[in-house]
Chain A
């Protein structure tokens, strides 16, 4: 995979396959501390310590355990390539968090890439999903929540292609803005 946002999509897709209905995707970029971190947090079936070892093994493939696949080993490889760090944690009430940390300026760090495409794809394929996206760039934060958007739509389905294309442009704009350090939170002016 060429982009971290593809890894994020893959990990999040696994969460949804594990029955998650709530997903929080966070990206932190801290230039001063040379840090790029992302976290995918879900309320799916959760994971055992034993399974955590297994999902890191690319040769472990059992169809009964949906989180297994090439995805996590590939992410591990992307992390190792630039001296980063990967943590997979079971959350007490059920659910899992996957956190990957990278040196921001490392030449072998994959770019974040098309994060908007990742979010749109998740939303398009999963009607019941409540998604929260949080992106912090230095001291600016952008937050997007599908719940809020659904309220603004007042009954128009979020899955209408026109709405999703609007959303794609909106997210692109907001994420570019974030890097320009001018920011408003989603929905504040709405």
Chain B
């Protein structure tokens, strides 16, 4: 079966890649996954993040989830934690999620405009 062959090739490639380690994550991204987060598209955010992390070759980001954070009107919502610094992005969509990976995770620039509550 073709796609399992692909998996095997991928595995061999990753095995050679010294970057793949499971536990030393520099950055943690937490997507809020309560009922209203899911309804607002949190699942699509996780997938967009994965695609962009793959494209940028970032294997050292821990992509985790939390339950309701009580900010329904700002969902989908995610938090980036790097060192001691935490940033919460609100009303994220697929494109914003990808941009957060490129700007914040790759270049280290916080995208301030997306962190303020939209009134």
- Which residues in A have some Cβ–Cβ distance to B below 8 Å? 1, 6, 9-10, 13, 17, 66, 69-71, 74, 114, 117-118, 120-121, 124-126, 152-157, 159-166, 168-170, 173, 184, 187-190
Interface segment out of the listed B42-50, B85-93, B111-119: B42-50
Distance, CA A120 to CA B42, complexed state (A): 12
Distance, CA A162 to CA B16, complexed state (A): 14
Task: Give the bracket for the number of chain B residues in contact with chain A.
Answer: 35 or more
On chain A, the residues within 8 Å of B38 by CB distance are: 1, 6, 9-10, 13
Q: Flag if B4 contacts A190 (CB, 8 Å).
A: yes
On chain A, the residues within 8 Å of B34 by CB distance are: 69
On chain A, the residues within 8 Å of B43 by CB distance are: 6, 9, 114, 117-118, 121
Q: Decide yes or no whether B109 CB sits under 8 A from chain A.
A: no
Distance, CA A17 to CA B67, complexed state (A): 8
What's the minimum C-beta distance from A148 to chain B, rounded to whole angstroms?
11
Distance, CA A154 to CA B46, complexed state (A): 25
Contact digits for B1-42, partner A, Cβ 8 Å, 1 yes 0 no: 101101110110011000010100000000101111011001
Distance, CA A120 to CA B65, complexed state (A): 12
Distance, CA A152 to CA B38, complexed state (A): 31
Chain B at the A interface: SS class = helix
Distance, CA A1 to CA B54, complexed state (A): 29
Interface centre among B6, B11, B58, B59, by most chain A C-beta atoms within 10 angstroms, is: B11
Choose from B14, B36, B39, B47 the contact partner of A160 (Cβ within 8 Å).
Answer: B14
Distance, CA A157 to CA B42, complexed state (A): 23
Q: Decide yes or no whether B53 CB sits under 8 A from chain A.
A: yes
What's the minimum C-beta distance from B73 to chain A, rounded to whole angstroms?
15
On chain B, the residues within 8 Å of A161 by CB distance are: 50-51, 53-54, 58-59, 61, 63
Q: Flag if B35 contacts A117 (CB, 8 Å).
A: no
On chain A, the residues within 8 Å of B67 by CB distance are: 13, 17, 66
Q: Decide yes or no whether B68 CB sits under 8 A from chain A.
A: yes
* Chain B, residue nearest A70 (CB): B35
What's the minimum C-beta distance from A188 to chain B, rounded to whole angstroms?
8
Q: Flag if B54 contacts A165 (CB, 8 Å).
A: yes
Distance, CA A155 to CA B3, complexed state (A): 19
